[in-house]
Chains A and B, each alone.
Chain A
Amino acid sequence: MRDRPHPLPRLPRRALLRGAAGSAALFALTAALSGCGTRGARQTGASCVSEDLSGTEKKLTFSNWPQYIDVDDKDGSKRPSLDAFQARTGIQVTYTEDINDNNEFFGKVRPQLSACQSIGRDIIVLSDWMAARVIGLGWVQRLDGARLPNVGRNLLPSLRDRPYDRENVLAIPWQSGLAGLAYNGNVTRPVQTVDELLTRPDLKGRVTALSEMRDTMGLLLQAGGHDPANFTADQFDEALSKLKRAVDGGQIRRFTGNDYAPELAKGDIAACVAWSGDVIQLAAEDERIRFVAPESGAMLYSDNMLVPNRATHRANAEALVDYYYEPAIAAQLAAYVNYICPVQGAQAEMEKIAPELATNPLIFPDQALLARSTAFMPLDEASERAYESKFQQVIGG
C-alpha cells in the first residue's frame, strides 16, 4: 500500500457522518438564531431619506439595457446624444449597459434597496411592471415636475397618468414598444392571429413565446376577447389553459427572453411572440421577417427611467431626463434604437433626419394601432405571485 501511486482520496466514513450530524446541528442553531425572519423591504420617504449633491458634483451614473442608445456609426465608443448632453451641461455621465433582465436586476439590487442603501446608480431603466413594483416598495425618489418641462409638454398621452405614477414624476418612459407576433416569411406563410400561432399544424414545434408573463398572457387574454388592463382570475385561467394545450401538444418549442431573435432570423423558429423593436432590427437585415400587431390587440410596454433611493445626483438626473424629451434629441435616439418613441413632436423632427422612419407605425404608431394596444393591469404582490406561479407551472419553471 505504501507505494500506491494514487490512493483514493479517502473520505473517512466516520468523519463524513460526524460532519453531516454537525452540519445538521449548525443548521438548527442558526435557523434558531435567525428565528425572527426578515424585516419588510418596503421603504417610505421618512424611513429612507436621500440627499442631492448635484450642486457640487457634476456627475451622473446611468444604467441602461444593452444597445438602447444611439451610437456613432464610425466610432462605437461615441454616443452622440449623450455626448451632446455632457457638452451642454458639463455633467459627466457614466453610462453602463448592465441591465439585461428585470428580474435579474431586481435580484441584484434588492438587498441594498431593502436596507435603504445606495446602489451606486443615479438612473436605472426598468420595464413598467417592474417599475410599478419598485415604486410600490418605496425604493424610488420623486422627481421635481417643475424641472421637467419637456416631459410635461411632450410625453405621449397614452403613457401618462399610469396607476403607479399618476403625476409622471416617478417613472419616465425611456422608450416604449409593442409585444405582438412575428414570423419569418422565408419559412412560413403569414401568421396573423394568436390562435394561428398556437394551433396551426404546420408551425408545430417551431413557435416560441415570451417568458414575460404580461406580454404572452396579455396577448392571449386579448385573443380571448378580454382586456389585459382589467380581467378576472377566471379569464386568466381560460387564457392559460389555451397556452397549456399548446405547450402540451408540442406546438410551443420554448419560452424566451430577447434570445428568440437569432433563432427567428435563422428560421429555426418560424413564428413567435415578439417585441416590436427586436423585429424592426431583424427586418432591416431581412425584410421577410415581419412584426404583426394582431387585430385582437397588442401589448404596450415601456421601459422607464427611475432615480433609486440614496442616489445622490437627483437634479442632474432630472436634467438628463428632460433633455431626452426634446423632440430633436428624441428623434435622434429613436432613429437609432427603433422602438416606439414616447415623445410627441419627435415625428416632425424625424422627417428631417430619416424620413423613411417617420412613417413607420412601429416607431410612431397611428391612433388605430394605439387604440388596440394596452398595458397589463397593475398587480399587488399576492396576485402577482399567484398569476406568476400558475404561468410558471405551464411554462415549466
Chain B
Amino acid sequence: MTGVRRRRLLPYLLILPGGLWLVVFFGVPAIQLGATSLYDPAGSLADGYAMTWSFGNYPDALAGYWPHLGRSFGYAALATALALLLGYPLAYVLALRAGRWQNLLLVCVVAPMFTSFLVRTLAWKAILSDGGALVGLLRDLHVLGPDGRLLASPVAVVTSLTYCYLPFMVLPIYASLQRLDRRLLAAAQDLYAGPSQVLRRVMLPLSMPGVVAGTLLTFIPASGDYISAELLGTPKEYMIGNVIDSAFLVRLDYPQGAALSVLLLGAILAMVVGYVRRAGAEEVG
C-alpha cells in the first residue's frame, strides 16, 4: 500500500522544486503586476497607491499606446517569418546533410549565444553603420539613395530581432528533423514523389512540432523585446517593451506600466492558444 501511495506522491514531489520556483518568481510577481495595474492612477510613489480597482487603466493605456502594441506584433511576426525562412534550410542541412561537419556547424549556430544579447545587438550597429561596407555597397548598387541608411530604421530592428532569435528557431526544427525516419523520405521517392512533394507532404508535416515550437520560441520573446528598438531604432520603431520600460523607470507611472504588461501578456497568450489549436489540429490530422 505504502509503495502505491509513494508512487502516487512521487510526481508531485518531482514537480515541487520547479513549482515552488514558478510560484515565487513568476506567480507572485505576476499577481502583484495585476494588482498594480488596478491601482488608482492618481497615486504617487511618495504617498503610495490606493487599490481602487481602476479598470479604466486598461483602456487608457491602450488608447495611448496601441500603435506600439501593433508594431511589436508586426515586427515579431516578420522576424519569426524570416527566422523560419532562414532557419528551416539551415536546420535541414544540419540534420540531414552535414555529415561529419554536423557538430561543428551546431556549435556555430549556438556559439553567438555565448556572448551577451547586448553585444550581439551592438554588433549590428557596426555592420549597418552609415559609413560601413554594407551601406556603401547598397548605395553603389542604388538600392539605397545617396543619403539612405539602414541604421535607425525598421529594417535594422527586424534584422536584429531575426538574428537574435534565430537559434531558437533552428534548434527545435533541427531536433525534429534529426529524429525523422529517413526511410520515410526514401519511401516517398520510391513512390515517385519529386523533391518538392517529399518536402511538402512528408518532411514538412513530420517536422511540424519543431516548427511550432520554433515559431513560439521566436515570436514570444521578440514581441516583448525592447533592446533592438532601443539601440537600432528611432522613436518611430519603438515597441511596447520600450513603453513599459519608460513607464516603470522614467515616468514612474506604475499602474500604466503594469496595465500595458498585462495587456501584452494577455495578447500573447491569446495568440499562442489560437495558434497551438490550429497547428495542433493540423498536426494530429
Given the interface pairs A31-B35, A103-B249, A267-B130, the reply to whether A10 lies near B48 with Cβ below 8 Å is no
* B167 at interface by CB-CB < 8 Å: no
Say which one of A36-44, A277-285, A330-338, A341-349 lies at the interface with B: A36-44
* B85 at interface by CB-CB < 8 Å: no
Instruction: Please name all residues of chain B whose beta carbon is closer than 8 Å to the beta carbon of A259 when the two chains form the complex.
Output: 231
* B131 at interface by CB-CB < 8 Å: yes
Interface of chain A residues 1 through 40 with chain B (CB within 8 A): 5-11, 13, 16, 20, 23, 26-27, 30-31, 34-40
Interface of chain A residues 164 through 201 with chain B (CB within 8 A): none
Instruction: Please name all residues of chain A whose beta carbon is closer than 8 Å to the beta carbon of B251 when the two chains form the complex.
Output: 385, 388-389, 392, 397
Q: With CB as the reference atom, state the residue of chain B lying closest to A202.
A: B147
Interface of chain B residues 112 through 146 with chain A (CB within 8 A): 125, 129-131
* A266 at interface by CB-CB < 8 Å: yes
Contact of A8 among B52, B175, B243, B283 (CB under 8 A): B283
Instruction: Please name all residues of chain B whose beta carbon is closer than 8 Å to the beta carbon of A263 when the two chains form the complex.
Output: 125
Chain B residues within 8 Å of chain A by Cβ, number: 63
* A253 at interface by CB-CB < 8 Å: yes
Contact of B46 among A11, A253, A381, A388 (CB under 8 A): A381
Q: With CB as the reference atom, state the residue of chain A lying closest to B233.
A: A254
Q: With CB as the reference atom, state the residue of chain B lying closest to A397.
A: B246
Instruction: Please name all residues of chain B whose beta carbon is closer than 8 Å to the beta carbon of A206 when the two chains form the complex.
Output: 130
Contact of A6 among B209, B246, B276 (CB under 8 A): B209
Instruction: Please name all residues of chain B whose beta carbon is closer than 8 Å to the beta carbon of A106 when the two chains form the complex.
Output: 249
Instruction: Please name all residues of chain A whose beta carbon is closer than 8 Å to the beta carbon of B3 when the two chains form the complex.
Output: none
Given the interface pairs A6-B210, A395-B235, the reply to whether A137 lies near B46 with Cβ below 8 Å is yes
Contact of A5 among B48, B181, B242 (CB under 8 A): B181
Is B46 a contact partner of A37 (Cβ separation < 8 A)? Answer: no
Is B235 a contact partner of A255 (Cβ separation < 8 A)? Answer: yes
Q: With CB as the reference atom, state the residue of chain B lying closest to A388.
A: B251
Cα(A11)–Cα(B234), bound, Å: 38
Contact of A30 among B34, B212, B213 (CB under 8 A): B34
Is B250 a contact partner of A7 (Cβ separation < 8 A)? Answer: no
Given the interface pairs A31-B38, A107-B249, the reply to whether A9 lies near B31 with Cβ below 8 Å is no
Instruction: Please name all residues of chain B whose beta carbon is closer than 8 Å to the beta carbon of A161 when the two chains form the complex.
Output: none
CB of A302, distance to nearest CB on chain B (Å): 20
Is A268 a contact partner of B48 (Cβ separation < 8 A)? Answer: no
Given the interface pairs A34-B51, A36-B51, the reply to whether A385 lies near B252 with Cβ below 8 Å is yes
CB of A42, distance to nearest CB on chain B (Å): 4
Cα(A159)–Cα(B280), bound, Å: 66
* B27 at interface by CB-CB < 8 Å: yes
Instruction: Please name all residues of chain B whose beta carbon is closer than 8 Å to the beta carbon of A6 when the two chains form the complex.
Output: 175-176, 179, 209-210
Instruction: Please name all residues of chain B whose beta carbon is closer than 8 Å to the beta carbon of A16 when the two chains form the complex.
Output: 273, 276
Is B209 a contact partner of A7 (Cβ separation < 8 A)? Answer: yes
Instruction: Please name all residues of chain B whose beta carbon is closer than 8 Å to the beta carbon of A9 when the two chains form the complex.
Output: 209, 213
Interface of chain B residues 29 through 49 with chain A (CB within 8 A): 30-32, 34-35, 38-40, 43-49
* B168 at interface by CB-CB < 8 Å: no
* B82 at interface by CB-CB < 8 Å: no
Given the interface pairs A107-B248, A397-B243, the reply to whether A381 lies near B45 with Cβ below 8 Å is yes
Is A253 a contact partner of B152 (Cβ separation < 8 A)? Answer: yes
* A396 at interface by CB-CB < 8 Å: yes
Cα(A92)–Cα(B210), bound, Å: 56
Instruction: Please name all residues of chain A whose beta carbon is closer than 8 Å to the beta carbon of B284 when the two chains form the complex.
Output: 8
* B97 at interface by CB-CB < 8 Å: no
Instruction: Please name all residues of chain A whose beta carbon is closer than 8 Å to the beta carbon of B51 when the two chains form the complex.
Output: 31, 34-37
* A220 at interface by CB-CB < 8 Å: no
Q: With CB as the reference atom, state the residue of chain B lying closest to A31.
A: B35
Interface of chain B residues 222 through 249 with chain A (CB within 8 A): 231, 233-238, 242-243, 245-246, 248-249
Contact of A11 among B48, B210, B280 (CB under 8 A): B280
Most B C-beta atoms less than 10 A away, residue of A23, A38, A40, A252: A38
* A247 at interface by CB-CB < 8 Å: yes
Interface of chain B residues 253 through 285 with chain A (CB within 8 A): 253, 269, 273, 276-277, 280, 283-284
Cα(A365)–Cα(B165), bound, Å: 49
CB of A190, distance to nearest CB on chain B (Å): 20
Q: With CB as the reference atom, state the residue of chain B lying closest to A387.
A: B251
Cα(A11)–Cα(B280), bound, Å: 8
* B50 at interface by CB-CB < 8 Å: yes
* A205 at interface by CB-CB < 8 Å: yes
CB of B256, distance to nearest CB on chain A (Å): 9
Given the interface pairs A37-B48, A255-B235, the reply to whether A268 lies near B209 with Cβ below 8 Å is no
Cα(A13)–Cα(B274), bound, Å: 11
* A75 at interface by CB-CB < 8 Å: no
* B185 at interface by CB-CB < 8 Å: no
* B198 at interface by CB-CB < 8 Å: no
Instruction: Please name all residues of chain A whose beta carbon is closer than 8 Å to the beta carbon of B246 when the two chains form the complex.
Output: 392, 397
Instruction: Please name all residues of chain A whose beta carbon is closer than 8 Å to the beta carbon of B109 when the two chains form the complex.
Output: none
Cα(A34)–Cα(B37), bound, Å: 12
Cα(A393)–Cα(B250), bound, Å: 12
The 8 closest A-B pairs by CB, nearest first: A396-B235, A397-B246, A40-B48, A30-B31, A8-B209, A5-B179, A396-B238, A37-B51
What are 7 of the A-B contact pairs (CB < 8 Å)? A7-B209, A16-B276, A40-B46, A42-B47, A205-B152, A385-B252, A397-B245
A residues with a Cβ closer than 8 A to B are 5-11, 13, 16, 20, 23, 26-27, 30-31, 34-42, 103-104, 106-107, 110, 114, 136-137, 204-206, 247, 252-255, 259, 263, 266-268, 381-382, 385, 388-389, 392-397
Q: Known contacts A37-B39, A38-B43; can you find 6 more A-B pairs with CB under 8 A?
A: A38-B49, A40-B47, A103-B250, A254-B233, A267-B131, A382-B44
